[in-house]
Chain A
């Protein structure tokens, strides 16, 4: 009888733990890239030319991956919910690497032509190659 009671209590505790774990996973905030190591480190020119050359192949290589990109600032676009920094890339279409900065990342003192290294999650290619949740790795 005592053993049965113990089993019921153990079962109930396990169920509670599982529910708590499920609740934690369900409510876990979106993970940024700050704590993650980049899958690839690449120059802005090279990343852009991969997508401009073969978008499908580039998506397989970089899509949804954490990419660390080195380049120079072409444009800073302030936004209400975080700024975007566009890194220059060699092409005739005016495209670049469009880095949507994670909250807390400051772009105020950034200058056009400034070399930077930015880490972010690659979402694909429109006019630019887009990165989200981007953070500065290096600002010279």
Chain B
């Protein structure tokens, strides 16, 4: 009986730790940049849903493509209608896990995230170097990586080819709070 109670206490303890180590946000930020000699293009999505589980070392992102906002209306319309086809493929998702030690105490921890990015209906493996920062009661993360539109079957018409970079830089910035 004592053994059983001890086991229950251990499982309850583990569950408590696991839930305390899952951080979520529904207002993470992902921006992308395209730099060419002809034009710089930038768009930002401030409603990224992200979950990071420190105990399982997993990372998941989900965002709505129409949530990317551009400075110029025409660019935003072309992005949604012609390039990423937001009506047909409304979401982009990322699921992965990270390697690198992240302690449950305040500090900055560099990690390597490996996972699968689904964009425009195409799933590709990606590796993302990131920095996780544990603060008291929150976890923030920043990352930067490159995406090739061609890898996701995003066709850029030849007339604007010189204005859009072959490699798009993606920057991620999230600040999660513990899942309650």
Q: In A61-117, which residues have CB < 8 Å from any B CB?
A: 63-64, 77, 79, 81-82, 84, 86, 98, 100
Report whether A26 and B74 are in contact in the complex, using a CB–CB cutoff of 8 Å.
yes
| A window 107-140: CB within 8 A of B | 123-128, 130, 132-133
Separation of A26 and B71 alpha carbons in the complex (Å): 11
From A26, A29, A126, B64 is in contact (CB under 8 Å) with: A126
CB-contact partner of A98 in B27, B72, B87, under 8 A? B27
Interface: B57 (CB within 8 A)? no
Flag if B72 contacts A82 (CB, 8 Å): no
**What's the tally of chain B residues with a CB closer than 8 Å to chain A?**
23
A30 beta carbon closer than 8 Å to chain B = yes
Stretch from B43-51, B95-103, B116-124, B164-172 forming part of the interface with A = B43-51
A49 interface contact, C-beta 8 A:
no
Looking at chain B's contact residues, the main secondary structure is strand
Complex Cα spacing A26 to B62, Å: 30
Is there contact, CB below 8 Å, between A130 and B73? no
The answer on a CB contact under 8 Å between B47 and A130 is: yes
**A25 at interface by CB-CB < 8 Å:** yes
B46 contacts A25, C-beta separation under 8 Å: no
Residue B35 at the A interface, CB < 8 A? no
Counting chain B CB atoms within 10 Å of each CB, the highest count among A29, A63, A123, A128 belongs to A123
* 0/1 interface trace, chain B 69-81, chain A, CB 8 Å (1 if under): 1111110100010
User: Scoring B residues 47 to 61 as 1 if CB is less than 8 Å from chain A, else 0, what string do you get?
Assistant: 101000000000000
The 3 lowest CB-CB distance pairs between A and B, nearest first, are A123-B66, A124-B64, A126-B49
A-contacting residues of B (Cβ < 8 Å)? 26-27, 29, 44, 46-47, 49, 62-64, 66-67, 69-74, 76, 80, 87, 90-91
**A and B contact pairs by CB, cutoff 8 A, 5 listed:** A30-B71, A64-B66, A100-B27, A124-B67, A132-B47
